[in-house]
Structure 1
Amino acid sequence: MTLMQPRDLTGTVVAVTGASAGIGRATTEALVAAGANVVVGARRLERLTDLADELGTDRVVPVQMDVREPADNARLVRTALERFGRLDSVVANTGIGSYGSVLDGSDEDVRTMVDTNFTGTVFTVRAALPTMLEAGAGDVVIVASVASFRGGADEAVYAGTKFAQQGFAGSIDRELREKGIRVTTINPAGVETEFAIGKGRTEGDPSLSEYLRPEMVAHAVVTTLQQPREMRTQSWAMWSMGQGS
Protein backbone atom coordinates (compact mmCIF):
# COMPACT_ATOMS: atom_id res chain seq x y z
CA MET A 1 0.00 0.00 0.00
CA THR A 2 1.30 3.45 -0.93
CA LEU A 3 0.83 6.10 1.73
CA MET A 4 -0.05 9.54 0.38
CA GLN A 5 2.20 12.25 1.75
CA PRO A 6 0.92 15.80 2.41
CA ARG A 7 1.87 18.26 -0.30
CA ASP A 8 4.76 20.42 0.88
CA LEU A 9 3.77 24.10 1.02
CA THR A 10 7.34 25.34 1.48
CA GLY A 11 7.97 28.25 -0.86
CA THR A 12 4.42 28.39 -2.19
CA VAL A 13 2.69 31.76 -2.25
CA VAL A 14 -0.79 32.31 -0.85
CA ALA A 15 -2.94 35.45 -0.85
CA VAL A 16 -5.32 35.73 2.12
CA THR A 17 -8.03 38.36 2.43
CA GLY A 18 -9.57 39.41 5.73
CA ALA A 19 -6.24 38.65 7.37
CA SER A 20 -6.22 41.31 10.08
CA ALA A 21 -8.06 39.18 12.65
CA GLY A 22 -9.84 35.93 13.37
CA ILE A 23 -9.75 33.18 10.76
CA GLY A 24 -7.61 35.18 8.33
CA ARG A 25 -4.94 35.91 10.89
CA ALA A 26 -4.92 32.31 12.16
CA THR A 27 -4.71 31.03 8.58
CA THR A 28 -1.73 33.27 7.89
CA GLU A 29 0.04 31.99 10.99
CA ALA A 30 -0.65 28.37 10.02
CA LEU A 31 0.51 28.90 6.43
CA VAL A 32 3.78 30.47 7.54
CA ALA A 33 4.32 27.58 9.95
CA ALA A 34 3.79 25.21 7.01
CA GLY A 35 6.45 27.02 4.97
CA ALA A 36 4.36 29.24 2.72
CA ASN A 37 4.85 32.91 1.92
CA VAL A 38 1.71 34.94 2.41
CA VAL A 39 0.38 38.22 1.00
CA VAL A 40 -2.24 39.45 3.46
CA GLY A 41 -5.03 41.86 2.65
CA ALA A 42 -7.50 43.79 4.81
CA ARG A 43 -8.65 47.33 5.48
CA ARG A 44 -6.79 47.65 8.80
CA LEU A 45 -3.21 48.16 7.65
CA GLU A 46 -1.79 48.61 11.17
CA ARG A 47 -2.94 45.12 12.15
CA LEU A 48 -1.50 43.63 8.98
CA THR A 49 1.82 45.37 9.58
CA ASP A 50 1.93 44.03 13.14
CA LEU A 51 1.23 40.53 11.81
CA ALA A 52 4.05 40.81 9.26
CA ASP A 53 6.44 42.07 11.92
CA GLU A 54 5.50 39.16 14.17
CA LEU A 55 5.83 36.43 11.54
CA GLY A 56 8.63 37.96 9.48
CA THR A 57 8.47 40.58 6.75
CA ASP A 58 10.37 38.21 4.48
CA ARG A 59 7.41 35.81 4.67
CA VAL A 60 4.37 38.06 5.10
CA VAL A 61 3.58 41.13 2.99
CA PRO A 62 0.67 43.41 3.98
CA VAL A 63 -1.67 45.09 1.48
CA GLN A 64 -4.35 47.51 2.60
CA MET A 65 -7.45 46.76 0.56
CA ASP A 66 -11.21 46.50 0.34
CA VAL A 67 -12.39 43.30 -1.37
CA ARG A 68 -15.33 45.17 -2.86
CA GLU A 69 -12.91 47.09 -5.08
CA PRO A 70 -11.58 45.19 -8.13
CA ALA A 71 -8.48 47.40 -8.26
CA ASP A 72 -7.59 46.51 -4.68
CA ASN A 73 -7.84 42.79 -5.43
CA ALA A 74 -5.66 43.27 -8.49
CA ARG A 75 -3.09 45.05 -6.32
CA LEU A 76 -3.08 42.12 -3.86
CA VAL A 77 -2.19 39.74 -6.69
CA ARG A 78 0.32 42.15 -8.22
CA THR A 79 2.08 42.43 -4.87
CA ALA A 80 2.44 38.64 -4.69
CA LEU A 81 3.97 38.54 -8.17
CA GLU A 82 6.28 41.48 -7.53
CA ARG A 83 7.46 40.22 -4.16
CA PHE A 84 7.57 36.44 -4.66
CA GLY A 85 7.26 35.95 -8.43
CA ARG A 86 4.24 33.65 -8.26
CA LEU A 87 0.81 33.05 -6.76
CA ASP A 88 -0.20 29.46 -6.02
CA SER A 89 -3.34 29.84 -3.92
CA VAL A 90 -5.90 32.39 -2.82
CA VAL A 91 -8.01 32.25 0.35
CA ALA A 92 -11.09 34.45 0.01
CA ASN A 93 -11.87 34.89 3.67
CA THR A 94 -13.28 38.41 4.11
CA GLY A 95 -16.80 38.39 5.47
CA ILE A 96 -19.20 40.27 7.71
CA GLY A 97 -22.45 39.18 9.29
CA SER A 98 -25.05 39.85 11.91
CA TYR A 99 -27.71 38.05 13.84
CA GLY A 100 -31.32 39.19 13.69
CA SER A 101 -34.45 39.41 11.60
CA VAL A 102 -34.34 40.04 7.86
CA LEU A 103 -35.92 43.40 8.72
CA ASP A 104 -33.18 44.40 11.17
CA GLY A 105 -30.42 46.76 10.13
CA SER A 106 -30.44 49.48 7.52
CA ASP A 107 -30.60 49.05 3.76
CA GLU A 108 -26.97 50.14 3.65
CA ASP A 109 -26.03 47.44 6.19
CA VAL A 110 -27.63 44.82 3.94
CA ARG A 111 -25.91 46.16 0.82
CA THR A 112 -22.53 46.18 2.57
CA MET A 113 -22.94 42.58 3.71
CA VAL A 114 -23.92 41.34 0.25
CA ASP A 115 -21.15 43.28 -1.49
CA THR A 116 -18.49 42.18 0.99
CA ASN A 117 -19.42 38.53 1.32
CA PHE A 118 -20.34 37.71 -2.25
CA THR A 119 -19.23 40.39 -4.68
CA GLY A 120 -15.94 40.71 -2.82
CA THR A 121 -15.36 36.96 -3.15
CA VAL A 122 -15.98 37.12 -6.89
CA PHE A 123 -13.55 40.02 -7.35
CA THR A 124 -10.84 38.29 -5.29
CA VAL A 125 -11.13 35.11 -7.34
CA ARG A 126 -11.24 36.98 -10.65
CA ALA A 127 -8.03 38.79 -9.74
CA ALA A 128 -6.18 35.61 -8.79
CA LEU A 129 -7.22 33.29 -11.60
CA PRO A 130 -5.25 34.59 -14.62
CA THR A 131 -1.91 33.87 -12.94
CA MET A 132 -3.01 30.39 -11.85
CA LEU A 133 -4.40 29.55 -15.28
CA GLU A 134 -1.14 30.59 -16.88
CA ALA A 135 0.70 28.26 -14.49
CA GLY A 136 -1.79 25.44 -15.09
CA ALA A 137 -2.33 24.85 -11.37
CA GLY A 138 -3.70 26.58 -8.31
CA ASP A 139 -6.09 26.55 -5.40
CA VAL A 140 -9.10 28.73 -4.69
CA VAL A 141 -10.32 28.41 -1.10
CA ILE A 142 -13.48 30.26 -0.13
CA VAL A 143 -14.35 30.57 3.55
CA ALA A 144 -18.13 30.28 3.56
CA SER A 145 -20.30 28.87 6.38
CA VAL A 146 -22.55 26.01 7.35
CA ALA A 147 -25.24 28.69 6.99
CA SER A 148 -24.81 28.14 3.25
CA PHE A 149 -26.49 24.74 3.66
CA ARG A 150 -29.20 25.61 6.16
CA GLY A 151 -29.65 29.23 7.11
CA GLY A 152 -30.87 29.86 10.65
CA ALA A 153 -33.92 31.87 11.59
CA ASP A 154 -31.78 34.82 12.71
CA GLU A 155 -29.37 35.12 9.77
CA ALA A 156 -31.37 35.25 6.55
CA VAL A 157 -29.36 37.81 4.57
CA TYR A 158 -26.04 36.46 5.81
CA ALA A 159 -27.08 32.91 4.89
CA GLY A 160 -28.13 34.17 1.46
CA THR A 161 -24.66 35.54 0.81
CA LYS A 162 -23.14 32.22 1.87
CA PHE A 163 -25.52 30.28 -0.40
CA ALA A 164 -24.28 32.56 -3.18
CA GLN A 165 -20.65 31.75 -2.37
CA GLN A 166 -21.48 28.04 -2.47
CA GLY A 167 -23.14 28.31 -5.86
CA PHE A 168 -20.26 30.36 -7.22
CA ALA A 169 -17.69 27.86 -5.94
CA GLY A 170 -19.52 24.88 -7.41
CA SER A 171 -19.77 26.56 -10.79
CA ILE A 172 -16.14 27.61 -11.01
CA ASP A 173 -15.06 24.15 -9.82
CA ARG A 174 -16.78 22.68 -12.86
CA GLU A 175 -15.28 25.38 -15.05
CA LEU A 176 -11.71 25.20 -13.78
CA ARG A 177 -11.04 21.62 -12.66
CA GLU A 178 -9.78 20.47 -16.07
CA LYS A 179 -7.46 23.48 -16.14
CA GLY A 180 -5.67 22.42 -12.96
CA ILE A 181 -7.46 24.73 -10.52
CA ARG A 182 -8.98 23.23 -7.38
CA VAL A 183 -11.90 25.04 -5.72
CA THR A 184 -12.88 24.37 -2.10
CA THR A 185 -15.31 25.93 0.31
CA ILE A 186 -14.52 25.76 4.03
CA ASN A 187 -17.78 25.93 5.94
CA PRO A 188 -17.43 26.46 9.67
CA ALA A 189 -20.23 26.77 12.17
CA GLY A 190 -19.88 29.67 14.62
CA VAL A 191 -16.29 30.71 15.33
CA GLU A 192 -15.13 32.58 18.42
CA THR A 193 -13.83 35.75 16.73
CA GLU A 194 -14.54 39.48 16.58
CA PHE A 195 -16.94 38.56 13.77
CA ALA A 196 -19.21 36.82 16.30
CA ILE A 197 -19.00 39.56 18.93
CA GLY A 198 -20.89 42.81 18.53
CA LYS A 199 -23.31 41.61 15.87
CA GLY A 200 -25.81 39.96 18.13
CA ARG A 201 -23.35 38.34 20.54
CA THR A 202 -21.44 40.02 23.34
CA GLU A 203 -18.07 39.48 25.01
CA GLY A 204 -18.48 36.77 27.64
CA ASP A 205 -21.55 35.19 26.03
CA PRO A 206 -21.47 31.59 27.38
CA SER A 207 -22.29 30.18 23.93
CA LEU A 208 -18.97 31.45 22.57
CA SER A 209 -17.05 28.91 24.65
CA GLU A 210 -18.58 26.13 22.54
CA TYR A 211 -17.75 27.77 19.21
CA LEU A 212 -14.96 26.68 16.90
CA ARG A 213 -11.68 28.53 17.33
CA PRO A 214 -9.99 30.35 14.44
CA GLU A 215 -7.03 27.96 14.43
CA MET A 216 -9.40 25.05 13.79
CA VAL A 217 -10.62 26.68 10.59
CA ALA A 218 -7.05 27.58 9.68
CA HIS A 219 -6.16 23.91 10.06
CA ALA A 220 -8.84 23.03 7.51
CA VAL A 221 -7.51 25.61 5.04
CA VAL A 222 -3.93 24.38 5.31
CA THR A 223 -4.96 20.72 5.14
CA THR A 224 -6.92 21.46 1.97
CA LEU A 225 -3.88 23.04 0.35
CA GLN A 226 -1.67 20.13 1.46
CA GLN A 227 -3.78 17.58 -0.43
CA PRO A 228 -1.92 15.84 -3.25
CA ARG A 229 -2.73 17.65 -6.47
CA GLU A 230 -4.36 14.52 -7.83
CA MET A 231 -7.30 15.02 -5.47
CA ARG A 232 -9.58 17.84 -4.40
CA THR A 233 -12.16 18.56 -1.69
CA GLN A 234 -15.15 20.51 -2.89
CA SER A 235 -16.66 21.32 0.50
CA TRP A 236 -15.58 20.93 4.13
CA ALA A 237 -18.28 21.48 6.77
CA MET A 238 -17.12 21.69 10.37
CA TRP A 239 -18.52 22.09 13.87
CA SER A 240 -16.93 21.99 17.31
CA MET A 241 -17.78 19.02 19.52
CA GLY A 242 -20.03 21.33 21.52
CA GLN A 243 -22.07 22.61 18.58
CA GLY A 244 -25.17 21.00 17.16
CA SER A 245 -25.40 20.51 13.41
Structure 2
Amino acid sequence: MNHTPLLSGQVAAVTGAASGIGFACAQAMIAAGAQVVLVDRDAPALAKARETLGDCALPLVLDLLDPAQCAAMPARILALTGGRLDIFHANAGLYVGGDLIDATDDAIDRMLNLNINVVMKNVRGVLPHMMERGVGDIIVTSSLAAHFPTPWEPVYASSKWAIDCFVQTVRRQVFKHGIRVGAISPGPVITSLLADWPAEKLEEAKAKGSLLEAAEVANVVLFMLTRPRGMTIRDVVMMPTQFDL
Protein backbone atom coordinates (compact mmCIF):
# COMPACT_ATOMS: atom_id res chain seq x y z
CA MET A 1 0.00 0.00 0.00
CA ASN A 2 1.33 3.45 -0.95
CA HIS A 3 1.46 5.77 2.05
CA THR A 4 3.19 8.68 0.27
CA PRO A 5 1.45 11.97 1.21
CA LEU A 6 -0.85 13.18 -1.55
CA LEU A 7 1.08 16.41 -2.18
CA SER A 8 4.54 15.07 -1.38
CA GLY A 9 7.27 17.18 -2.97
CA GLN A 10 4.92 19.89 -4.19
CA VAL A 11 5.25 23.59 -3.47
CA ALA A 12 2.23 25.83 -2.90
CA ALA A 13 1.54 29.49 -2.14
CA VAL A 14 -1.61 30.75 -0.44
CA THR A 15 -2.61 34.41 -0.14
CA GLY A 16 -4.44 35.58 2.95
CA ALA A 17 -2.83 32.62 4.70
CA ALA A 18 -2.44 33.97 8.22
CA SER A 19 -6.02 33.16 9.23
CA GLY A 20 -9.37 31.75 8.19
CA ILE A 21 -9.72 29.75 4.97
CA GLY A 22 -6.18 30.56 3.86
CA PHE A 23 -4.63 29.22 7.06
CA ALA A 24 -6.82 26.10 7.02
CA CYS A 25 -5.90 25.38 3.39
CA ALA A 26 -2.19 25.88 4.06
CA GLN A 27 -2.46 23.55 7.03
CA ALA A 28 -4.20 20.88 4.94
CA MET A 29 -1.61 21.14 2.15
CA ILE A 30 1.28 20.83 4.61
CA ALA A 31 -0.38 17.80 6.22
CA ALA A 32 -0.59 16.32 2.70
CA GLY A 33 3.17 16.75 2.21
CA ALA A 34 3.51 20.15 0.53
CA GLN A 35 5.76 23.07 1.34
CA VAL A 36 3.61 26.21 1.52
CA VAL A 37 4.43 29.90 1.20
CA LEU A 38 2.10 31.85 3.47
CA VAL A 39 1.38 35.25 1.91
CA ASP A 40 -0.21 37.87 4.14
CA ARG A 41 0.29 41.49 5.18
CA ASP A 42 -0.12 40.72 8.91
CA ALA A 43 3.43 39.97 10.07
CA PRO A 44 2.57 39.00 13.69
CA ALA A 45 -0.22 36.68 12.51
CA LEU A 46 2.14 35.12 9.94
CA ALA A 47 4.75 34.51 12.62
CA LYS A 48 2.12 32.78 14.75
CA ALA A 49 0.97 30.70 11.78
CA ARG A 50 4.57 29.69 11.04
CA GLU A 51 5.02 28.62 14.64
CA THR A 52 1.87 26.48 14.43
CA LEU A 53 2.55 24.95 11.01
CA GLY A 54 6.26 24.25 11.34
CA ASP A 55 9.20 24.27 8.96
CA CYS A 56 7.14 23.52 5.84
CA ALA A 57 5.47 26.93 6.19
CA LEU A 58 7.40 29.82 4.63
CA PRO A 59 6.01 33.22 5.68
CA LEU A 60 6.03 36.05 3.14
CA VAL A 61 4.86 39.43 4.40
CA LEU A 62 3.23 41.30 1.51
CA ASP A 63 0.54 43.95 1.22
CA LEU A 64 -1.18 42.93 -2.01
CA LEU A 65 -2.96 46.28 -2.20
CA ASP A 66 0.43 47.93 -2.69
CA PRO A 67 1.07 47.75 -6.47
CA ALA A 68 4.84 47.30 -6.17
CA GLN A 69 4.55 44.57 -3.53
CA CYS A 70 1.81 42.85 -5.52
CA ALA A 71 3.95 42.85 -8.67
CA ALA A 72 6.92 41.43 -6.73
CA MET A 73 4.96 38.51 -5.30
CA PRO A 74 5.75 35.78 -7.90
CA ALA A 75 9.50 36.44 -7.82
CA ARG A 76 9.55 36.52 -4.03
CA ILE A 77 7.67 33.23 -3.83
CA LEU A 78 10.11 31.56 -6.23
CA ALA A 79 13.05 32.97 -4.29
CA LEU A 80 11.76 31.30 -1.14
CA THR A 81 11.07 27.93 -2.79
CA GLY A 82 14.18 27.46 -4.87
CA GLY A 83 12.40 28.35 -8.10
CA ARG A 84 9.40 26.04 -7.97
CA LEU A 85 5.66 26.58 -7.63
CA ASP A 86 3.11 23.82 -8.26
CA ILE A 87 0.00 25.26 -6.60
CA PHE A 88 -1.24 28.82 -6.25
CA HIS A 89 -4.29 29.54 -4.11
CA ALA A 90 -5.62 33.10 -4.56
CA ASN A 91 -7.55 33.39 -1.34
CA ALA A 92 -7.06 36.91 0.06
CA GLY A 93 -10.20 39.01 0.03
CA LEU A 94 -12.27 41.69 1.70
CA TYR A 95 -15.96 41.92 2.50
CA VAL A 96 -18.44 44.78 2.18
CA GLY A 97 -21.99 43.94 3.16
CA GLY A 98 -25.19 45.80 3.86
CA ASP A 99 -27.14 48.30 1.77
CA LEU A 100 -25.30 49.75 -1.20
CA ILE A 101 -26.28 53.27 -0.18
CA ASP A 102 -24.28 52.88 3.04
CA ALA A 103 -21.04 51.71 1.38
CA THR A 104 -18.23 54.25 1.15
CA ASP A 105 -16.24 54.87 -2.01
CA ASP A 106 -13.02 53.84 -0.26
CA ALA A 107 -14.47 50.55 1.00
CA ILE A 108 -15.82 49.71 -2.47
CA ASP A 109 -12.49 50.54 -4.13
CA ARG A 110 -10.42 48.52 -1.66
CA MET A 111 -12.66 45.48 -1.87
CA LEU A 112 -12.93 45.44 -5.66
CA ASN A 113 -9.19 45.97 -5.96
CA LEU A 114 -8.31 43.05 -3.68
CA ASN A 115 -11.11 40.69 -4.69
CA ILE A 116 -10.76 41.20 -8.46
CA ASN A 117 -7.73 43.17 -9.63
CA VAL A 118 -5.21 41.59 -7.27
CA VAL A 119 -6.47 38.09 -8.05
CA MET A 120 -6.08 38.74 -11.78
CA LYS A 121 -2.58 40.17 -11.31
CA ASN A 122 -1.50 37.34 -9.00
CA VAL A 123 -2.72 34.63 -11.37
CA ARG A 124 -1.12 36.41 -14.34
CA GLY A 125 2.08 36.63 -12.32
CA VAL A 126 2.40 32.89 -11.61
CA LEU A 127 1.29 31.69 -15.05
CA PRO A 128 4.62 32.09 -16.90
CA HIS A 129 6.38 29.79 -14.43
CA MET A 130 3.64 27.16 -14.64
CA MET A 131 3.42 27.40 -18.42
CA GLU A 132 7.17 26.91 -18.73
CA ARG A 133 6.98 23.80 -16.56
CA GLY A 134 3.86 22.52 -18.31
CA VAL A 135 1.99 21.84 -15.09
CA GLY A 136 0.25 23.68 -12.27
CA ASP A 137 -2.86 24.16 -10.20
CA ILE A 138 -4.60 27.45 -9.51
CA ILE A 139 -7.44 27.66 -7.00
CA VAL A 140 -9.41 30.85 -6.35
CA THR A 141 -11.57 31.37 -3.30
CA SER A 142 -14.90 32.58 -4.64
CA SER A 143 -18.19 32.46 -2.76
CA LEU A 144 -21.71 31.14 -2.82
CA ALA A 145 -22.50 34.81 -3.50
CA ALA A 146 -21.04 34.31 -6.99
CA HIS A 147 -23.98 32.04 -7.82
CA PHE A 148 -26.88 33.91 -6.23
CA PRO A 149 -27.76 37.64 -6.22
CA THR A 150 -27.37 37.95 -2.46
CA PRO A 151 -29.44 40.99 -1.45
CA TRP A 152 -27.53 41.83 1.72
CA GLU A 153 -24.11 42.06 0.00
CA PRO A 154 -24.42 43.54 -3.52
CA VAL A 155 -20.85 44.88 -3.68
CA TYR A 156 -19.23 41.69 -2.38
CA ALA A 157 -21.43 39.44 -4.50
CA SER A 158 -20.60 41.46 -7.61
CA SER A 159 -16.88 41.01 -6.99
CA LYS A 160 -17.30 37.26 -6.72
CA TRP A 161 -19.47 37.06 -9.86
CA ALA A 162 -16.68 38.87 -11.71
CA ILE A 163 -13.92 36.64 -10.39
CA ASP A 164 -15.93 33.51 -11.13
CA CYS A 165 -16.08 34.60 -14.78
CA PHE A 166 -12.32 35.23 -14.67
CA VAL A 167 -11.66 31.72 -13.34
CA GLN A 168 -13.74 30.04 -16.02
CA THR A 169 -12.31 32.05 -18.91
CA VAL A 170 -8.67 31.71 -17.82
CA ARG A 171 -9.18 27.99 -17.35
CA ARG A 172 -10.11 27.73 -21.03
CA GLN A 173 -6.97 29.60 -22.03
CA VAL A 174 -4.43 27.63 -20.01
CA PHE A 175 -5.60 24.02 -19.82
CA LYS A 176 -3.55 23.29 -22.95
CA HIS A 177 -0.45 24.11 -20.87
CA GLY A 178 -1.26 21.46 -18.28
CA ILE A 179 -2.61 24.02 -15.84
CA ARG A 180 -5.85 23.41 -13.97
CA VAL A 181 -7.88 26.39 -12.73
CA GLY A 182 -10.82 26.06 -10.39
CA ALA A 183 -12.89 27.98 -7.87
CA ILE A 184 -14.16 27.03 -4.44
CA SER A 185 -17.45 28.78 -3.61
CA PRO A 186 -18.36 28.27 0.03
CA GLY A 187 -21.37 29.61 1.82
CA PRO A 188 -20.83 31.47 5.12
CA VAL A 189 -17.64 30.31 6.82
CA ILE A 190 -16.65 31.03 10.39
CA THR A 191 -13.88 33.59 9.77
CA SER A 192 -13.19 37.21 10.69
CA LEU A 193 -15.05 38.32 7.54
CA LEU A 194 -18.33 37.35 9.19
CA ALA A 195 -17.78 40.15 11.68
CA ASP A 196 -18.86 42.47 8.84
CA TRP A 197 -22.06 40.57 8.12
CA PRO A 198 -25.38 42.29 8.88
CA ALA A 199 -25.98 41.47 12.55
CA GLU A 200 -29.41 39.96 11.97
CA LYS A 201 -28.13 37.62 9.24
CA LEU A 202 -25.23 36.48 11.42
CA GLU A 203 -27.46 35.78 14.40
CA GLU A 204 -29.91 33.92 12.15
CA ALA A 205 -27.09 31.79 10.72
CA LYS A 206 -25.71 31.02 14.18
CA ALA A 207 -29.15 30.06 15.48
CA LYS A 208 -29.73 27.67 12.55
CA GLY A 209 -26.25 26.19 12.70
CA SER A 210 -25.83 27.21 9.08
CA LEU A 211 -22.13 28.09 9.09
CA LEU A 212 -19.14 26.19 7.69
CA GLU A 213 -15.77 25.64 9.34
CA ALA A 214 -12.69 26.78 7.44
CA ALA A 215 -11.27 23.25 7.72
CA GLU A 216 -14.25 21.93 5.77
CA VAL A 217 -13.39 24.26 2.89
CA ALA A 218 -9.76 23.14 3.09
CA ASN A 219 -10.80 19.51 2.75
CA VAL A 220 -12.59 20.30 -0.52
CA VAL A 221 -9.62 22.29 -1.83
CA LEU A 222 -7.38 19.31 -1.09
CA PHE A 223 -9.82 17.06 -2.97
CA MET A 224 -9.63 19.38 -5.99
CA LEU A 225 -5.83 19.39 -5.95
CA THR A 226 -5.42 15.65 -5.64
CA ARG A 227 -7.57 14.52 -8.58
CA PRO A 228 -5.72 12.74 -11.41
CA ARG A 229 -4.19 15.25 -13.83
CA GLY A 230 -6.73 14.32 -16.48
CA MET A 231 -9.54 15.68 -14.31
CA THR A 232 -10.30 19.31 -13.46
CA ILE A 233 -12.74 20.18 -10.71
CA ARG A 234 -13.93 23.39 -12.33
CA ASP A 235 -15.83 24.82 -9.40
CA VAL A 236 -17.33 23.55 -6.17
CA VAL A 237 -20.27 25.19 -4.46
CA MET A 238 -20.52 24.14 -0.84
CA MET A 239 -22.92 25.33 1.82
CA PRO A 240 -24.23 24.30 5.21
CA THR A 241 -27.19 21.98 4.77
CA GLN A 242 -29.34 24.31 6.85
CA PHE A 243 -28.44 27.42 4.87
CA ASP A 244 -31.48 28.66 2.97
CA LEU A 245 -31.12 31.10 0.08
- Using the size of structure 1 for normalisation, the TM-score is 0.91
How has the CA–CA distance of structure 1 residues 118 and 6 changed in structure 2, closer, same or farther, with 3 Å as cutoff? Answer: farther
Query: How big is the shift at 1:200?
Result: 2.6
Per the alignment, residue 140 of structure 2 pairs with 142
Per the alignment, residue 230 of structure 1 pairs with 230
Deviates more, 1:191-200 or 1:74-83: 74-83
* Structure number having the greater helix percentage: 2
Query: How big is the shift at 1:160?
Result: 0.6
Query: How big is the shift at 1:146?
Result: 1.1
Per the alignment, residue 98 of structure 2 pairs with 100
Query: How big is the shift at 1:201?
Result: 3.8
Picking from 158, 176, 179, the partner of 1:178 is: 176
Structure 2 gap segments, 5+ residues each: none
Structure 1 gap segments, 5+ residues each: none
Runs (4+) of structure 1 moved beyond 6 Å? none
Where in structure 2 are the equivalents of 1:195-234 lying within 5 Å? Answer: 195-201=193-199, 205=203, 207-208=205-206, 209-234=209-234
The share of aligned pairs that are identical, in percent, is: 33
Q: Measure the CA separation in 2 of the matches of 1:130 and 1:70.
A: 19
Q: Give the CA RMSD over aligned residues.
A: 2.0
Where in structure 2 are the equivalents of 1:157-168 lying within 5 Å? Answer: 157-168=155-166
Query: How big is the shift at 1:42?
Result: 1.1
Q: Does 1:68 align with 2:65?
A: yes
Is 1:146–1:238's contact at 8 Å kept on the other side of the alignment? yes
Counterpart of 1:39 in 2: which secondary structure?
strand
Q: Write out per-residue CA displacement over residues 129-180 of structure 1, whole angstroms, 9 at most, x where no aligned residue.
A: 1110110010110000111111211111111100110110111011001111
* Number of residue equivalences: 239
Counterpart of 1:123 in 2: which secondary structure?
helix
Matched AA of 1:16 = V
- Using the size of structure 2 for normalisation, the TM-score is 0.91
How has the CA–CA distance of structure 1 residues 13 and 74 changed in structure 2, closer, same or farther, with 3 Å as cutoff? Answer: farther
How has the CA–CA distance of structure 1 residues 63 and 201 changed in structure 2, closer, same or farther, with 3 Å as cutoff? Answer: farther
Is 2:96–2:108's contact at 8 Å kept on the other side of the alignment? no
